[in-house]
Every structure is written in C-alpha cells, then in structure tokens.
Amino acid sequence: MDNNIGFLFANANHALICSGPLWEEMLLYNIREEDQDRLLATFTAISGKAISPTDIISQLSGGQKVILLACLALYSPASRLHFVDLKHSLDADKYAHTLQLLQDSGKQLHFEEF
C-alpha cells in the first residue's frame, strides 16, 4: 500500500484537534518519528518559537496554531492538501513563508479563503 496517497482537509479557523501535548496531534496526523525534528524546526523557523512534542498546544497563539497546522499537513503522508482560510491569524510575512514551504513541498495544494 502506498502511504503517500491521501487527502488532508485543514481549516485554519479550527486549526488543531487536540488541546494537550503536541505529540497527540502529531499522532493524529501520522507524522513519522523521523520527520518530527524537521517539523519542529520548520515551525520554529516560521513562528520564531521553539516547541517540543510535550508542549501543550492550547497555549499557542492563534497564528502559531495556524503555522503548526501547516507544518503538520506538510509532514503528513497526505499527498493532497486542502486549506481553508490559511491566512487566518497570520501576518503577511509568516503567511508568505508558510505558503512558500507548502508550494515547495511537491504536494498537490488547494486553497479557499472566506
């Protein structure tokens, strides 16, 4: 079975499912252990905030949650990503950085803004 086939729907208005430690959200997104450090580094590069798998994600700001949503989608096995309101809570620079990383990923992308 090819694990690189899948569709992920990501709504920035409801960025995260869990409110506990980050590792719970990574488990839901099926983030491979070998990709976790890259995900954390990508999040830090965009947000300026370092986090760990044990950090409580409900304590992140709205923009940080959206960045985390994008990072989780980026490192998930899904090959097709559908984002709703990705600009939600992001300033222009963070949105541009996030968008560039997604576009460079090689994944099939679709964006909706309401």
| Rounded Cα gap, residues 94 and 56, in angstroms | 22
Q: Are strands 80-84 and 108-112 parallel, antiparallel or unpaired?
A: parallel
Query: Using H for helix, E for strand and C for coil, what is the string for the chain?
Result: CCCCCCEEEEEHHHCCCCCCEHHHHHHHCCCCHHHHHHHHHHHHHHHCCCCCCCCEHHHCCHHHHHHHHHHHHHHCCCCEEEEECCCCCCCHHHHHHHHHHHHCCCCEEEEECC
90 is a domain residue = yes
Q: How many domains does the chain have?
A: 1
Q: Does some domain include residue 2?
A: no
* Structural domain includes residue 81: yes
Q: Quote the pLDDT of residue 3.
A: 55
Question: For residue 62, is it within any domain?
Answer: yes
- The dihedral formed by the CA atoms of 73, 78, 81 and 87, expressed in degrees to the nearest 10: 0
pLDDT at 4: 59
- Structural domain of 87: 7-112
Give the pLDDT of the chain (114 residues) as one tens digit per residue: 455 569 999 999 999 999 999 999 999 999 999 999 999 999 999 999 999 999 999 999 999 999 999 999 999 999 999 999 999 999 999 999 999 999 999 999 999 998
Beta bridge partners of residue 83, listed in sequence order: 10, 111
- What was the pLDDT predicted at 1? 42
Phi, psi of 84 (to 5 degrees): -115, 125
Q: Token pair of 73, please?
A: 């989608």
Residue 82 sits in a domain of what CATH number? Answer: 3.40.50.300
Q: Is residue 1 part of a domain?
A: no
